[in-house]
Amino acid sequence: MLKLRVLTALVLAPAIILATLYLPHSGFAFLAALIFVLGAWEWGGLAGLSATGRLGYAGLLGGLFAIAYSLMSLSATWVFPLIGVGLLWWMVALVLVLRFPAHGEFWSRSPAARSIAGLVVLLPAWAGLVLLHRANSHLALLVMILVSFADIGAYFAGRAFGRHKLAPQVSPGKTWEGLVGALAVTLFIGVGAARWLPVAPELTTLFVLLCMATVLVSVLGDLLESMFKRMAGAKDSGHLLPGHGGVLDRVDSLTAAAPVFAMGTYWLKVLA
């Protein structure tokens, strides 16, 4: 399983990097939409929708992406309310994760509520990622690097030092020590990225703090998907990626990170 996981990553990682840096903006937006539409298909499964319902759900999200992209082409300001909805949702999601399983029965009995939750997870995530790419393709790549390397840091720190569970009711494998490892890796990446972009010297500290906040929120994205998988009785969101499970299993952290990083870079004037 580990060998298959590594082989898949070795194929996907260069492809994503090249696509992010060299595709025209419209091509990147379409590719990101395709990935999130596949994620919507998987989310429909977690929501308990039928095969026909999942197709309709994925099609609905694709249509919303097309509308959002058309509005964004007129003016980038159209997308900020959408990203704002995403930020509000992640505040709600924090409460849901912290209180789980107290509210589990409601979500388990309501496919409509789970379906709506998927829309407010996936649509703002796509919007944030596309907005970052429109401003600077390196910003879009950076948020993916932050999430990926934080995950690696958390894995190794958790394996080596993990003793205290982060959210045992939702994801028993995650530890506070793993979170510290993720933030340590993020600190180094954030400092390096501030010089690489470059970020104005007077904004470097705030930018690094934004990178760390982005990774903190990315953990919430992972935990939220784990919560919905637990309610659905599923180990993985799907089987599209050999050794990695489904598409959602790879982008769950990014769904929370992208809108936060997009809004933060806008406030810091990094995203112009």
Residue 269 has pLDDT above 90, yes or no: no
* 272 within some domain: no
* 248 within some domain: yes
pLDDT recorded at residue 237: 76
* 122 within some domain: yes
Residue 121 has pLDDT above 70, yes or no: yes
**Number of structural domains found in the chain:** 1
Residue 244 has pLDDT above 60, yes or no: no
Mean pLDDT for the stretch of residues 101-124: 87
Residue 187 has pLDDT above 70, yes or no: yes
- To the question of pTM greater than 0.85 for the whole model, the response is yes
For the chain, what is the mean pLDDT? 89
pLDDT recorded at residue 214: 97
**DSSP codes of every residue in the chain:** -HHHHHHHHHHHHHHHHHHHHHS-HHHHHHHHHHHHHHHHHHHHHHTT--HHHHHHHHHHHHHHHHHHHHHHHH-GGGHHHHHHHHHHHHHHHHHHHHHTTTTHHHHHT-HHHHHHHHHHHHHHHHHHHHHHHHH-HHHHHHHHHHHHHHHHHHHHHHHHH--SEEETTTEEEEEHHHHHHHHHHHHHHHHHHHHHTTPPGGGHHHHHHHHHHHHHHHHHHHHHHHHHHHHHT-SSS-SSBTTTB-HHHHHHHHHHHHHHHHHHHHHTTS--
Percent of the chain past pLDDT 70, that is, above it, reads 93
Structural domain boundaries, residue 254:
2-267
* 83 within some domain: yes
Band the pLDDT of 106: cuts 50, 70, 90. confident
* 67 within some domain: yes
pLDDT recorded at residue 75: 81
